Amino acid sequence: MNSLCDLDKKDLKARLKRIEGQVRGLQRMIEEDKYCVDVLYQINAVQGGLKKVGLKILDKHVHGCVQRAVKDKEGDKVIDELMGVLSKFTD
Amino acid sequence: MNSLCDLDKKDLKARLKRIEGQVRGLQRMIEEDKYCVDVLYQINAVQGGLKKVGLKILDKHVHGCVQRAVKDKEGDKVIDELMGVLSKFTD
Amino acid sequence: MNSLCDLDKKDLKARLKRIEGQVRGLQRMIEEDKYCVDVLYQINAVQGGLKKVGLKILDKHVHGCVQRAVKDKEGDKVIDELMGVLSKFTD
Amino acid sequence: MNSLCDLDKKDLKARLKRIEGQVRGLQRMIEEDKYCVDVLYQINAVQGGLKKVGLKILDKHVHGCVQRAVKDKEGDKVIDELMGVLSKFTD
Protein backbone atom coordinates (compact mmCIF):
# COMPACT_ATOMS: atom_id res chain seq x y z
CA MET A 1 0.00 0.00 0.00
CA ASN A 2 1.20 3.51 -0.73
CA SER A 3 1.06 6.79 1.22
CA LEU A 4 -1.41 8.72 -0.93
CA CYS A 5 -4.56 10.14 0.63
CA ASP A 6 -7.75 10.54 -1.46
CA LEU A 7 -6.96 14.18 -2.19
CA ASP A 8 -3.49 13.34 -3.54
CA LYS A 9 -4.91 10.50 -5.62
CA LYS A 10 -7.53 12.78 -7.16
CA ASP A 11 -4.89 15.40 -8.04
CA LEU A 12 -2.48 12.83 -9.51
CA LYS A 13 -5.18 11.12 -11.56
CA ALA A 14 -6.29 14.51 -12.95
CA ARG A 15 -2.69 15.29 -13.92
CA LEU A 16 -2.23 11.90 -15.59
CA LYS A 17 -5.56 12.29 -17.41
CA ARG A 18 -4.26 15.58 -18.83
CA ILE A 19 -0.96 13.92 -19.81
CA GLU A 20 -2.91 11.12 -21.53
CA GLY A 21 -4.74 13.78 -23.56
CA GLN A 22 -1.43 15.42 -24.47
CA VAL A 23 -0.04 12.09 -25.67
CA ARG A 24 -3.14 11.63 -27.84
CA GLY A 25 -2.55 15.17 -29.12
CA LEU A 26 1.01 14.18 -30.07
CA GLN A 27 -0.35 11.34 -32.21
CA ARG A 28 -2.59 13.84 -33.99
CA MET A 29 0.36 16.21 -34.51
CA ILE A 30 2.33 13.38 -36.17
CA GLU A 31 -0.69 12.39 -38.28
CA GLU A 32 -1.27 15.97 -39.43
CA ASP A 33 2.41 16.59 -40.33
CA LYS A 34 2.84 19.31 -37.74
CA TYR A 35 6.27 21.00 -37.68
CA CYS A 36 8.90 18.85 -35.90
CA VAL A 37 10.01 21.62 -33.57
CA ASP A 38 6.43 22.14 -32.35
CA VAL A 39 6.12 18.40 -31.72
CA LEU A 40 9.40 18.47 -29.79
CA TYR A 41 8.20 21.34 -27.56
CA GLN A 42 4.99 19.40 -26.91
CA ILE A 43 6.97 16.26 -25.96
CA ASN A 44 8.97 18.47 -23.59
CA ALA A 45 5.74 19.71 -21.99
CA VAL A 46 4.56 16.12 -21.42
CA GLN A 47 7.92 15.23 -19.87
CA GLY A 48 7.58 18.23 -17.54
CA GLY A 49 4.12 17.06 -16.50
CA LEU A 50 5.36 13.53 -15.82
CA LYS A 51 8.30 14.84 -13.83
CA LYS A 52 5.91 16.82 -11.62
CA VAL A 53 3.79 13.70 -11.01
CA GLY A 54 6.95 11.77 -10.19
CA LEU A 55 8.17 14.38 -7.71
CA LYS A 56 4.78 14.50 -6.00
CA ILE A 57 4.71 10.71 -5.56
CA LEU A 58 8.32 10.77 -4.37
CA ASP A 59 7.48 13.45 -1.82
CA LYS A 60 4.59 11.41 -0.43
CA HIS A 61 6.74 8.27 -0.45
CA VAL A 62 9.58 9.79 1.54
CA HIS A 63 7.31 11.64 4.00
CA GLY A 64 5.11 8.56 4.36
CA CYS A 65 6.56 5.11 3.64
CA VAL A 66 10.21 5.98 4.30
CA GLN A 67 9.52 7.76 7.60
CA ARG A 68 7.31 4.88 8.75
CA ALA A 69 9.98 2.36 7.81
CA VAL A 70 12.67 4.29 9.71
CA LYS A 71 10.47 4.33 12.82
CA ASP A 72 9.94 0.56 12.39
CA LYS A 73 13.72 0.07 12.11
CA GLU A 74 13.35 -0.92 8.44
CA GLY A 75 14.89 2.34 7.22
CA ASP A 76 18.04 1.09 5.50
CA LYS A 77 16.18 -1.38 3.29
CA VAL A 78 13.59 1.15 2.17
CA ILE A 79 16.27 3.82 1.62
CA ASP A 80 18.33 1.48 -0.58
CA GLU A 81 15.20 0.89 -2.65
CA LEU A 82 14.61 4.67 -2.82
CA MET A 83 18.17 5.31 -3.99
CA GLY A 84 17.68 2.72 -6.75
CA VAL A 85 14.76 4.59 -8.23
CA LEU A 86 16.40 7.99 -7.67
CA SER A 87 19.49 6.99 -9.63
CA LYS A 88 17.15 6.26 -12.57
CA PHE A 89 15.33 9.60 -12.23
CA THR A 90 18.50 11.65 -12.27
CA ASP A 91 19.43 10.18 -15.66
CA MET B 1 5.42 20.47 -43.04
CA ASN B 2 7.77 18.07 -41.33
CA SER B 3 10.31 15.55 -42.59
CA LEU B 4 8.57 12.31 -41.60
CA CYS B 5 7.84 9.68 -44.22
CA ASP B 6 4.83 7.35 -43.83
CA LEU B 7 6.99 4.61 -42.30
CA ASP B 8 8.36 6.97 -39.63
CA LYS B 9 4.88 8.28 -38.87
CA LYS B 10 3.52 4.75 -38.41
CA ASP B 11 6.38 3.86 -36.04
CA LEU B 12 6.02 7.07 -34.01
CA LYS B 13 2.24 6.76 -33.73
CA ALA B 14 2.62 3.14 -32.54
CA ARG B 15 5.13 4.25 -29.90
CA LEU B 16 2.86 7.09 -28.73
CA LYS B 17 -0.13 4.70 -28.63
CA ARG B 18 1.89 2.46 -26.30
CA ILE B 19 2.88 5.47 -24.16
CA GLU B 20 -0.79 6.52 -23.98
CA GLY B 21 -1.61 3.02 -22.67
CA GLN B 22 1.18 3.28 -20.10
CA VAL B 23 -0.19 6.64 -18.88
CA ARG B 24 -3.63 5.04 -18.49
CA GLY B 25 -1.91 2.21 -16.60
CA LEU B 26 -0.37 4.80 -14.25
CA GLN B 27 -3.85 6.14 -13.44
CA ARG B 28 -4.94 2.60 -12.55
CA MET B 29 -1.83 2.12 -10.38
CA ILE B 30 -2.71 5.29 -8.43
CA GLU B 31 -6.37 4.19 -8.14
CA GLU B 32 -5.39 0.73 -6.89
CA ASP B 33 -2.89 2.06 -4.31
CA LYS B 34 0.08 0.39 -5.95
CA TYR B 35 3.42 0.81 -4.16
CA CYS B 36 4.96 4.27 -4.81
CA VAL B 37 8.30 2.89 -5.92
CA ASP B 38 6.62 0.72 -8.57
CA VAL B 39 4.69 3.77 -9.81
CA LEU B 40 7.96 5.75 -9.96
CA TYR B 41 9.68 3.04 -12.04
CA GLN B 42 6.69 3.03 -14.38
CA ILE B 43 6.85 6.85 -14.75
CA ASN B 44 10.54 6.43 -15.57
CA ALA B 45 9.66 3.90 -18.30
CA VAL B 46 7.18 6.34 -19.86
CA GLN B 47 9.80 9.10 -19.77
CA GLY B 48 12.25 6.77 -21.52
CA GLY B 49 9.67 6.04 -24.22
CA LEU B 50 8.98 9.75 -24.75
CA LYS B 51 12.68 10.53 -24.92
CA LYS B 52 13.07 7.91 -27.67
CA VAL B 53 10.20 9.46 -29.65
CA GLY B 54 11.79 12.90 -29.19
CA LEU B 55 15.20 11.72 -30.40
CA LYS B 56 13.66 10.06 -33.45
CA ILE B 57 11.81 13.24 -34.41
CA LEU B 58 14.93 15.29 -33.76
CA ASP B 59 16.96 12.98 -36.00
CA LYS B 60 14.48 13.34 -38.86
CA HIS B 61 14.30 17.10 -38.29
CA VAL B 62 18.05 17.64 -38.49
CA HIS B 63 18.58 15.24 -41.42
CA GLY B 64 15.55 16.69 -43.21
CA CYS B 65 14.41 20.25 -42.41
CA VAL B 66 17.77 21.54 -41.15
CA GLN B 67 19.76 20.17 -44.10
CA ARG B 68 17.19 21.56 -46.54
CA ALA B 69 17.31 24.96 -44.84
CA VAL B 70 21.11 25.06 -44.98
CA LYS B 71 21.03 24.29 -48.70
CA ASP B 72 18.44 27.09 -49.14
CA LYS B 73 20.71 29.48 -47.19
CA GLU B 74 18.24 29.57 -44.32
CA GLY B 75 20.48 27.51 -42.05
CA ASP B 76 21.24 29.98 -39.25
CA LYS B 77 17.58 30.73 -38.54
CA VAL B 78 16.57 27.06 -38.41
CA ILE B 79 19.63 26.19 -36.29
CA ASP B 80 18.82 28.92 -33.75
CA GLU B 81 15.33 27.45 -33.49
CA LEU B 82 16.83 23.96 -33.07
CA MET B 83 19.16 25.16 -30.29
CA GLY B 84 16.14 26.65 -28.49
CA VAL B 85 14.37 23.32 -28.28
CA LEU B 86 17.61 21.44 -27.51
CA SER B 87 18.35 23.65 -24.52
CA LYS B 88 14.95 22.57 -23.16
CA PHE B 89 15.59 18.88 -23.79
CA THR B 90 18.90 18.85 -21.97
CA ASP B 91 17.19 20.11 -18.81
CA MET C 1 27.88 18.29 10.13
CA ASN C 2 27.38 15.67 7.46
CA SER C 3 27.17 11.87 7.51
CA LEU C 4 30.39 11.00 5.70
CA CYS C 5 32.93 8.72 7.35
CA ASP C 6 36.66 9.09 6.57
CA LEU C 7 36.51 6.34 3.96
CA ASP C 8 33.66 8.03 2.10
CA LYS C 9 35.42 11.38 2.27
CA LYS C 10 38.61 9.91 0.81
CA ASP C 11 36.68 8.28 -2.04
CA LEU C 12 34.70 11.45 -2.82
CA LYS C 13 37.78 13.68 -2.73
CA ALA C 14 39.59 11.30 -5.10
CA ARG C 15 36.63 11.41 -7.49
CA LEU C 16 36.47 15.22 -7.37
CA LYS C 17 40.24 15.44 -7.89
CA ARG C 18 39.80 13.38 -11.06
CA ILE C 19 36.91 15.61 -12.17
CA GLU C 20 39.06 18.69 -11.54
CA GLY C 21 41.72 17.18 -13.83
CA GLN C 22 39.09 16.49 -16.49
CA VAL C 23 37.89 20.11 -16.34
CA ARG C 24 41.48 21.27 -16.80
CA GLY C 25 41.69 18.84 -19.73
CA LEU C 26 38.61 20.49 -21.24
CA GLN C 27 40.35 23.88 -21.14
CA ARG C 28 43.28 22.35 -23.01
CA MET C 29 40.93 20.80 -25.57
CA ILE C 30 39.39 24.25 -26.23
CA GLU C 31 42.85 25.85 -26.42
CA GLU C 32 44.10 23.22 -28.87
CA ASP C 33 41.02 23.46 -31.13
CA LYS C 34 40.00 19.87 -30.54
CA TYR C 35 36.94 18.69 -32.47
CA CYS C 36 33.68 19.95 -30.89
CA VAL C 37 32.09 16.51 -30.74
CA ASP C 38 35.07 15.14 -28.77
CA VAL C 39 34.80 18.08 -26.36
CA LEU C 40 31.06 17.38 -25.96
CA TYR C 41 31.69 13.71 -25.13
CA GLN C 42 34.29 14.77 -22.58
CA ILE C 43 31.83 17.24 -20.98
CA ASN C 44 29.35 14.37 -20.82
CA ALA C 45 31.93 12.22 -19.02
CA VAL C 46 32.52 14.96 -16.42
CA GLN C 47 28.76 15.30 -15.90
CA GLY C 48 28.55 11.54 -15.35
CA GLY C 49 31.33 11.73 -12.75
CA LEU C 50 29.60 14.61 -10.93
CA LYS C 51 26.29 12.77 -10.97
CA LYS C 52 27.95 9.76 -9.33
CA VAL C 53 29.44 11.98 -6.61
CA GLY C 54 26.02 13.57 -6.08
CA LEU C 55 24.27 10.20 -5.76
CA LYS C 56 26.87 8.97 -3.27
CA ILE C 57 26.44 12.04 -1.08
CA LEU C 58 22.66 11.77 -1.40
CA ASP C 59 22.82 8.11 -0.33
CA LYS C 60 24.86 8.97 2.78
CA HIS C 61 22.58 11.91 3.53
CA VAL C 62 19.37 9.86 3.43
CA HIS C 63 20.82 6.86 5.29
CA GLY C 64 22.46 9.19 7.82
CA CYS C 65 21.04 12.66 8.41
CA VAL C 66 17.49 11.90 7.26
CA GLN C 67 17.17 8.69 9.30
CA ARG C 68 18.57 10.45 12.38
CA ALA C 69 16.15 13.35 11.91
CA VAL C 70 13.17 10.99 11.60
CA LYS C 71 14.17 9.24 14.83
CA ASP C 72 14.47 12.68 16.50
CA LYS C 73 10.97 13.59 15.21
CA GLU C 74 12.49 16.20 12.87
CA GLY C 75 11.76 14.09 9.78
CA ASP C 76 9.30 16.31 7.91
CA LYS C 77 11.58 19.36 7.96
CA VAL C 78 14.62 17.46 6.72
CA ILE C 79 12.55 15.64 4.07
CA ASP C 80 11.15 18.93 2.72
CA GLU C 81 14.72 20.16 2.41
CA LEU C 82 15.70 16.91 0.65
CA MET C 83 12.82 17.23 -1.82
CA GLY C 84 13.98 20.78 -2.63
CA VAL C 85 17.41 19.59 -3.73
CA LEU C 86 15.99 16.51 -5.48
CA SER C 87 13.67 18.60 -7.63
CA LYS C 88 16.80 20.43 -8.85
CA PHE C 89 18.69 17.21 -9.57
CA THR C 90 15.92 15.74 -11.70
CA ASP C 91 16.07 18.76 -14.00
CA MET D 1 39.50 21.59 -36.19
CA ASN D 2 36.51 23.12 -34.48
CA SER D 3 34.35 26.17 -35.18
CA LEU D 4 35.32 28.35 -32.22
CA CYS D 5 36.66 31.84 -32.81
CA ASP D 6 39.11 33.42 -30.35
CA LEU D 7 36.31 35.25 -28.54
CA ASP D 8 34.34 32.04 -27.99
CA LYS D 9 37.47 30.22 -26.83
CA LYS D 10 38.25 32.95 -24.30
CA ASP D 11 34.69 32.84 -22.93
CA LEU D 12 34.63 29.03 -22.72
CA LYS D 13 38.02 28.84 -21.04
CA ALA D 14 36.93 31.45 -18.47
CA ARG D 15 33.79 29.43 -17.74
CA LEU D 16 35.77 26.19 -17.39
CA LYS D 17 38.30 27.93 -15.14
CA ARG D 18 35.42 28.96 -12.87
CA ILE D 19 34.05 25.40 -12.92
CA GLU D 20 37.51 24.07 -12.03
CA GLY D 21 37.51 26.40 -9.01
CA GLN D 22 34.04 25.19 -8.00
CA VAL D 23 35.19 21.57 -8.18
CA ARG D 24 38.14 22.46 -5.93
CA GLY D 25 35.62 24.16 -3.63
CA LEU D 26 33.63 20.92 -3.50
CA GLN D 27 36.70 19.05 -2.30
CA ARG D 28 37.09 21.59 0.50
CA MET D 29 33.41 21.26 1.41
CA ILE D 30 33.85 17.48 1.77
CA GLU D 31 37.07 17.95 3.78
CA GLU D 32 35.41 20.46 6.12
CA ASP D 33 32.32 18.29 6.70
CA LYS D 34 29.94 20.82 5.17
CA TYR D 35 26.26 19.89 5.26
CA CYS D 36 25.36 17.31 2.54
CA VAL D 37 22.48 19.36 1.17
CA ASP D 38 24.77 22.38 0.65
CA VAL D 39 27.27 20.14 -1.16
CA LEU D 40 24.46 18.79 -3.36
CA TYR D 41 23.32 22.30 -4.31
CA GLN D 42 26.91 23.16 -5.18
CA ILE D 43 27.23 20.04 -7.36
CA ASN D 44 24.03 21.13 -9.08
CA ALA D 45 25.55 24.56 -9.77
CA VAL D 46 28.62 22.97 -11.36
CA GLN D 47 26.40 20.76 -13.52
CA GLY D 48 24.49 23.86 -14.64
CA GLY D 49 27.76 25.56 -15.58
CA LEU D 50 28.93 22.51 -17.55
CA LYS D 51 25.60 22.26 -19.33
CA LYS D 52 25.93 25.89 -20.42
CA VAL D 53 29.44 25.23 -21.78
CA GLY D 54 28.12 22.16 -23.61
CA LEU D 55 25.24 24.08 -25.19
CA LYS D 56 27.57 26.86 -26.32
CA ILE D 57 29.93 24.39 -28.00
CA LEU D 58 26.95 22.56 -29.52
CA ASP D 59 25.63 25.83 -30.91
CA LYS D 60 28.96 26.66 -32.55
CA HIS D 61 29.28 23.11 -33.84
CA VAL D 62 25.88 23.08 -35.55
CA HIS D 63 26.17 26.63 -36.93
CA GLY D 64 29.75 25.95 -38.03
CA CYS D 65 30.87 22.36 -38.71
CA VAL D 66 27.43 20.94 -39.48
CA GLN D 67 26.45 23.73 -41.88
CA ARG D 68 29.80 23.47 -43.63
CA ALA D 69 29.42 19.69 -43.94
CA VAL D 70 25.93 20.02 -45.41
CA LYS D 71 27.20 22.48 -48.01
CA ASP D 72 30.02 20.02 -48.81
CA LYS D 73 27.44 17.21 -49.18
CA GLU D 74 28.81 15.51 -46.06
CA GLY D 75 25.74 16.41 -44.00
CA ASP D 76 24.31 13.00 -43.20
CA LYS D 77 27.56 11.67 -41.73
CA VAL D 78 28.11 14.71 -39.51
CA ILE D 79 24.46 14.73 -38.43
CA ASP D 80 24.59 11.05 -37.43
CA GLU D 81 27.63 11.89 -35.32
CA LEU D 82 25.75 14.85 -33.80
CA MET D 83 22.75 12.69 -32.93
CA GLY D 84 25.08 10.24 -31.17
CA VAL D 85 26.36 12.89 -28.79
CA LEU D 86 22.89 14.46 -28.37
CA SER D 87 21.36 11.16 -27.28
CA LYS D 88 23.98 11.12 -24.48
CA PHE D 89 23.27 14.71 -23.44
CA THR D 90 19.53 14.16 -23.10
CA ASP D 91 20.14 11.38 -20.57
pLDDT digits over D12-66, tens only? 999 999 999 999 999 999 999 999 999 999 999 999 999 999 999 999 999 999 9
Whether A26 contacts chain B with CB within 8 A: yes
Q: Which residues of chain C have pLDDT under 70?
A: 1-2
DSSP A29-74: HHHTT--HHHHHHHHHHHHHHHHHHHHHHHHHHIIIIIHHHHHTT-
**Cβ neighbours of residue C13 under 8 Å, at least 6 residues apart?**
D27, D30, D31
Average pLDDT over chain A, rounded to an integer: 93
- pLDDT reading at A4 higher than 90: no
Whether B89 contacts chain D with CB within 8 A: yes
ipTM of the complex: 0.93
What mean pLDDT is predicted for residues B41-53? 97
Fold of C6-89: Methane Monooxygenase Hydroxylase; Chain G, domain 1 (1.20.58)
pLDDT in tens, D3-27: 678 879 999 999 999 999 999 999 9
A52: left (phi over 0), alpha (psi -120 to 50) or beta: alpha
**How many alpha carbons fall within 13 Å on the CB side of residue B42?**
22
**Cβ neighbours of residue C71 under 8 Å, at least 6 residues apart?**
A70, A71
Interface list for C 27-86 with D (CB within 8 A): 27, 30-31, 33-37, 39-41, 43-44, 46-47, 50-51, 53-54, 57-58, 60-61, 64-65, 81-82, 85
What per-residue confidence (pLDDT) applies to B7? Answer: 79
- pLDDT reading at B16 higher than 70: yes
Q: Rounded distance, CA A84 to CA A58, Å?
A: 13
Phi/psi of residue D5, nearest 5 degrees: -85, 170
